[in-house]
Amino acid sequence: MITSGYGRQRAYSQSKLAQIAFTFDLAERLAADRVTVNALHPATYMDTAMVREAGAPVLSDVAEGADATMRLIDESAGETGRYFDGVRESRAHAQAYDREARRRLRELSDTLVNRALS
């Protein structure tokens, strides 16, 4: 939770890190059930409404992101708990691999969800 110094890019970056960390956590928790869970960064600044409305430079087209997504669907059977940058496996930010950070994220998420459902 950003309680001070909010910035749109900071919030976006932190949310992406949280998604990747949660993916790794979920992959570990579901490994025995043979469920595949991976994180994908399909492309950078694809030509989407969100990117155009933010005034960011378009660096990729949607087809590039779709190709990365389809590659992951088609070719990642049995690969779980991994991070892909486009069509290649890569390393995420170090904090995404930190079990203690992931535990705290899970607990905070559970608390926020339970509060919202109350």
Residues of the chain with pLDDT under 50: none
Contact 26, 39 (CB under 8 A): no
Whole-number pLDDT of residue 92: 96
List Cα–Cα distances, 108 to 1, 19, 34, 71, 81, in angstroms: 9, 13, 26, 33, 21
pTM of structure: 0.85
- pLDDT above 90 as % of the chain: 76
Whole-number pLDDT of residue 8: 83
